[in-house]
Amino acid sequence: MHNNTTQYNKGIAIILVLVFAGVFVMSMSALMGFILTQAQLGTEKVVREQAFGIAEAGLEYYHWFLIQHPNDLQDGTGTSGPYVHQYTDPSGGSVGNFSLSIVGNKSCGVVQSVDITSTGTSDIDPKFKRTLFGRHAAKSVAEYSYIIGADVWAGSDRNITGPYHSNGGIRMDGTNNSTVSSAVSSWLCDYSFGCSPSQTQNGVFGSGTGSALWKYPTNSISFADMATNFSNMKSYAQSSGIYLAPYGNTTINYAGYNTAADGYHLIFNSDGTVDIYKVTSTSGYWGWLSDTGWTPDFHIIYSESFVERKTIPASCSLIFVEDKVWIEGTVKGKVTVVAADLTNNGYNPDVIINGDINYSTLDGSDGLTVISENGIFIPPQSQNNLSIRGIFVAQGDRFGRSYYSYDTKNQLTIHGSIISKKRVGTSWACGNGFCSGYANRISSYDRLQTTNPPPFTPASTTTAQYVLWREQ
């Protein structure tokens, strides 16, 4: 009986030893596996970070290359890519390589921006790759809600989303949710800006609620640098876009004033076409601006004749009008309209916003840029509630609406950018307050246009850089 018990206890002990030994072995195996996995993960992280740095070096290399060779999209080889470069440590030895894929975004055969995809690989473990994408271009004016070349007053009814800049002084009584920047440290505010008597004020001042975002002085934005080469654009439109030549009488003399009386009327359609009319006669109204006084304008269409409906070419969506032009409708695709006259010396045509301007989709695939050699104006008898989308560039005069007696409207909504060489004005105050123009104005920049604007949209700087950057 004693021997049987002893043998039984020995058997139990052996089983327990084996069980604990098995548990120990399994625990150690798991621990070693965990340690090994963590070591592998650590190594993988190091390799991935190195591959990321190499891919980034590829983007920086091609940025440098484009500065030296702005029209070379083949890495100096004259052949199609991808283009592989070895990446070496300055102290010697290969670290890895980056492979570049380069695509130029063209319109009318002219490069608008360059898309660069850089894939980095480390020599430590080539199976771990990192890929970065960058769009290389000069910054577009679409990054701003407003760029103004003169002193300006944003009234208390203004609600502005996006950067607002003036090369002169700013009185900001409205609401802003982004930077309001002036290129001057101080300026003389007179009665036309609500200061009586005239007084020296800071670059930006007023009763607006967003003063924490006011900045002055800042760098000036050069209107000369964003000037458009109208001669080249005319040639592009004639060869592969849409070109409308001047016709009839470009100006008439009315009460001693020379003014444009005819031109073209463009109505955009959501199917990518545009209806073209010749404006044969207009109605004149007297309007007032601070620098010109009372002058007659002929911005209201009285009669017109249909010319044709044209499909806007996808490869060159540029419409060059060598005359005054009225625009409205629904835009499909990325379209640029230019109004400039290279035929008649001394005649600089305007653009007239004849009605609502919308996009067929709001996902960023549609966009409109309007460039006027002179000004862009909202006419008398405009809609009570006017909504426009686009990037509006008045290179010679202003974006605005003259003071028209007893002509008041409700709301103006702008989704895009206003670039105006002279003072902007779409609302007027008289002795008793608001008396002409739009009582309420809402402005917001279109962030979907900032990195992919319509072709030939002016840049706010001459320096090209990566305007879009992401990991793929």
Does the pLDDT of residue 26 top 90, yes or no? no
Classify burial at 396, counting beta carbons within 10 Å of its beta carbon; exposed 0-12, middle 13-18, buried 19 or more: middle
What pLDDT was estimated at residue 250?
57
Query: Could you tell me the pLDDT band of residue 296, with boundaries at 50, 70 and 90?
Result: confident
Enter the pTM of the model.
Answer: 0.88
Q: How far apart are CA 154 and CA 162, in angstroms?
A: 14
For residues 38 and 306, the model is more confident at: 306
What pLDDT was estimated at residue 448?
95
Does the pLDDT of residue 2 top 60, yes or no? no
Torsions phi, psi for 396 (to 5 deg):
-110, -25
H-type helices in 167-303, by residue range?
230-240
**In this structure, which amino acid lies at residue 469?**
W
Residue bearing tokens 């003389």: 188
Does the pLDDT of residue 24 top 90, yes or no? no
What pLDDT was estimated at residue 8?
59
Are the C-beta atoms of 260 and 305 separated by less than 8 Å? Answer: no
Does the pLDDT of residue 36 top 60, yes or no? no
For residues 19 and 412, the model is more confident at: 412
Tens-place pLDDT, residues 179-232: 999 999 999 999 999 999 999 999 999 999 899 999 999 999 999 888 889 999
What pLDDT was estimated at residue 11?
66
Torsions phi, psi for 107 (to 5 deg):
-140, 130
Does the pLDDT of residue 34 top 90, yes or no? no
Q: How far apart are CA 63 and CA 70, in angstroms?
A: 9
Q: Is the dihedral of CA 202, 206, 212, 213 positive or negative?
A: negative
Classify burial at 152, counting beta carbons within 10 Å of its beta carbon; exposed 0-12, middle 13-18, buried 19 or more: buried
Tens-place pLDDT, residues 41-68: 556 788 889 999 999 999 999 999 999 9
Q: Say what percent of the chain tops pLDDT 70.
A: 89
Cα dist from 212 to 24, 145, 316, whole Å: 65, 18, 43
Query: Could you tell me the pLDDT band of residue 91, with boundaries at 50, 70 and 90?
Result: confident
**In this structure, which amino acid lies at residue 71?**
N
Are the C-beta atoms of 230 and 340 separated by less than 8 Å? Answer: yes
For residues 228 and 261, the model is more confident at: 228
What pLDDT was estimated at residue 127?
87
What pLDDT was estimated at residue 159?
92
Tens-place pLDDT, residues 382-405: 999 999 999 999 999 999 999 999
Does the pLDDT of residue 256 top 60, yes or no? no
DSSP designation for 407:
-
**In this structure, which amino acid lies at residue 90?**
P
Cα dist from 274 to 145, 267, 310, 335, 384, whole Å: 27, 6, 5, 11, 25
For residues 329 and 19, the model is more confident at: 329
Find the helix or strand (DSSP H, E) in which 30 lies. helix 2-68
Are the C-beta atoms of 340 and 349 separated by less than 8 Å? Answer: yes
Query: Could you tell me the pLDDT band of residue 248, with boundaries at 50, 70 and 90?
Result: low
Q: How far apart are CA 396 and CA 209, in angstroms?
A: 32
Among 87-101, 148-162, 249-263, name the one with the lowest average pLDDT.
249-263
Rounded mean pLDDT of 329-352? 92
Of 166, 172, 164, 217, the closest CA to residue 194 belongs to 172
Of 187, 141, 142, the closest CA to residue 168 belongs to 187
What pLDDT was estimated at residue 176?
95
Find the helix or strand (DSSP H, E) in which 459 lies. strand 459-471
Domain edges within the chain? 2-139, 145-149+221-444
Among 17-26, 40-49, 268-277, name the one with the lowest average pLDDT.
17-26
What pLDDT was estimated at residue 206?
97
Tens-place pLDDT, residues 105-148: 999 999 999 999 999 999 888 888 999 999 999 999 999 999 99
Torsions phi, psi for 36 (to 5 deg):
-65, -40
What pLDDT was estimated at residue 230?
95
Residue 7: CB atoms within 10 A of its CB come to 10
Q: Say what percent of the chain tops pLDDT 90.
A: 74
Tokens of 171: 């009185």
What pLDDT was estimated at residue 225?
86
What pLDDT was estimated at residue 13?
67
What pLDDT was estimated at residue 249?
57
Tokens of 265: 């009327």
For residues 112 and 296, the model is more confident at: 112
Residue bearing tokens 């058997």: 11
What pLDDT was estimated at residue 432?
78
Does the pLDDT of residue 3 top 90, yes or no? no
Chain center to CA of 366: 12
Query: Could you tell me the pLDDT band of residue 431, with boundaries at 50, 70 and 90?
Result: confident
User: Do strands 94-107 and 83-88 pair parallel, antiparallel, or not at all (unpaired)?
Assistant: antiparallel
What pLDDT was estimated at residue 244?
97
Query: What integer best gives the mean pLDDT of the chain?
Result: 90
